[in-house]
Amino acid sequence: MSRHDDAIRVDVTDHGIGMTESARQRVFRKFEQATSSTNRKYGGTGLGLAISKELVELQGGEIDVTSTPGKGSTFWFTVPIVLAEAPEQTDTRLEHQHAEEAHSSANVEGAQVLIAEDNRTNQIIAERFLQSMGIEPVTVKNGLSAVQRCEDSKFDVILMDIQMPGMDGLEACAIIKTHGALNADTPIVALSANILPEQTAGYIRAGMIACLGKPFRKQELADVLSNLIPPRAELSENVQSLDEITPVANPPILSSPNSL
């Protein structure tokens, strides 16, 4: 990547089969590939470069390729640099934001949280978010492992991915709610990128209390946890069941029985 006057240029070079001049002139057309055998050997539809060309030109840039048969190709594009002003944040707004974050973290510090998630990157993100709130979570990679953990450990909240290999989140939730004596009343929060109204409604019907849409921000997770977990200093007979926990008030990523 390099800067040329008021534009950024990106070059991507390979040392593959290359292409002829006639093929080079066709590759940015829709449903065109370098040769008729390309699809059979490498797959693809011939739309990728055409879409890339439209996107670059919408940004006021250019895209092209240089290529030598048998030696490889260099695809490049340019996009103009547009100066933008950063949104103004007042000291009061920042102080309020920091105070909210600190309050949410203090409320849930030391809580027992189970993460059921098969994707390692998603595991790490959730773990880091929770650790920054003073929580050391237990992480498993499928629904069966979550059910097994719930048989001998009590959790304050379970964060449950929906799509996992073997036993998925919905099946695991049903078993925990039915047979997980220690955690039958533990709030289970769905983690999913599928958050259309009918999908989140299905999670709630399965026994989950809420849904966090992927990708979620730390503050969104903190808001959900602080709503579901009583402050550690107040854990007593004052909270007897989930019926006494106030649902989160209309965050865009949360679906609860009150918002469906």
2-36+43-80 CATH fold: Heat Shock Protein 90 (3.30.565)
Q: So what CATH class is 106-244?
A: alpha beta
What tens digit of pLDDT does each residue of 59-76 get? 999 999 999 999 999 999
pLDDT band at 260 (very low <50, low <70, confident <90, very high): very low
What pTM was estimated for this model as a whole? 0.56
What tens digit of pLDDT does each residue of 150-191 get? 999 999 999 999 999 999 999 999 999 998 789 999 999 999
Closest CA to 216 of 94, 129, 143: 129
116's CB contacts (< 8 A; 6+ apart) are 139, 140, 141, 142, 143, 145, 146, 158, 159, 160, 161, 164, 169, 172
Report whether pLDDT(239) > 60: no
Please, what is the average pLDDT of the chain?
A: 82
pLDDT score at 247: 42
Which range of 2-16, 37-51, 78-92, 114-128 scores highest in mean pLDDT? It is 114-128
Domains of the chain, by residue range, sit at 2-36+43-80, 106-244
